[in-house]
Amino acid sequence: QVQLQESGPGLVKPSETLSLTCTVSGGSVRSGSYDWSWIRQPPGKGLEWIGNIYYSGSPKYNPSLKSRVTISLDTSKNQLSLKLSSVTAADTAVYYCARAGSSSFYFDSWGQGTLLTVSS
Amino acid sequence: EIVLTQSPDFQSVTPKEKVTITCRASQSIGSSLHWYQQKPDQSPKLLIKYASQSFSGVPSRFSGSGSGTDFTLTINSLEAEDAATYYCHQSSTLPWTFGQGTKVEIK
């Protein structure tokens, strides 16, 4: 059974770039059957899809964040990563990585999430 | 982007009661609508895929229906463990979007 585990710094200063990693176990990010997303949830609020990546394709991003987001895969470590530049307090959220079928598009596996706080 | 609007935002329900949550899309999405359950301090879990297909291991009291723009999640005979926030999600058109959530409280 696939497991996803997010990791990150916990605290980032305004205007800096946040970097998060999601380590996948029990499955491979090189699998052509799945794509891998980042989703975030501000405290007490709903879910926002940030973007996704498929092993043999280009990443896709939410237009609301596209100018600041980079999602990539590290196949040697079986990880996906998220970089979000020029962060503000509005980027404070729990960040989840999640797996979806490459042709089915629902999120069948989620990490436990990592809280990222933007504060000076 | 496609906007999903859930109703109600909050529902307080007694055990064994039936719960109905609706999700309305701002344009037709066929059956590309999925439902998730999120308990406090946990990540969301998939309940229903493609409007009406139960995901593996989900109790049979959870069911979904609808197509086009109007969808429903039904919980028959609510149990205490069903206290959670429920979200719909559309995968018809990028960017993927979620409803604002419906919180179900047990009386």
Give tens-digit pLDDT for A101-112. Answer: 888 899 999 999
Angstrom distance (rounded) from CA A117 to CA A42: 10
pLDDT along chain B (107 residues), means of 10: 98 97 98 98 98 97 98 97 98 98 97
Q: Is residue A52 pLDDT above 90, yes or no?
A: yes
What is the nearest CA distance from A68 to chain B, expressed in angstroms? Answer: 16
CB contacts of A104 in chain B (<8 Å) are 49
Dist. CA A119–CA A50, nearest whole Å: 21
Contacts of A110 in chain B (CB under 8 A): 43-45
CA distance B48 to B88: 9
- From chain A, pick out residues whose CB is under 8 angstroms from the CB of B103: none
Q: Are A62 and B95 a contacting pair at CB < 8 A?
A: yes
Out of B46, B50, B96, the one facing A108 most closely (by C-beta) is B46
DSSP state of B59: -
Q: CB within 8 A of B34, min separation 6: which ones?
A: A106, A107, B46, B48, B49, B50, B51, B88, B89, B90, B91
Residue B54 in tokens: 């139960």
Whether pLDDT at A56 is above 90: no
Burial B72-96 (b: 16+ CB within 10 A, else e): bbebeebeeebebbbbbbbbbebbb
Antiparallel, parallel or unpaired: β A69-74 and A79-84: antiparallel
Task: Give the mean model confidence (pLDDT) for residues A69-75.
Answer: 96
Using DSSP bridges, classify how beta strands B53-54 and B62-67 pair: parallel, antiparallel or unpaired. unpaired
Rounded to a whole number of angstroms, the distance from the CA of A41 to the nearest CA of chain B is: 10
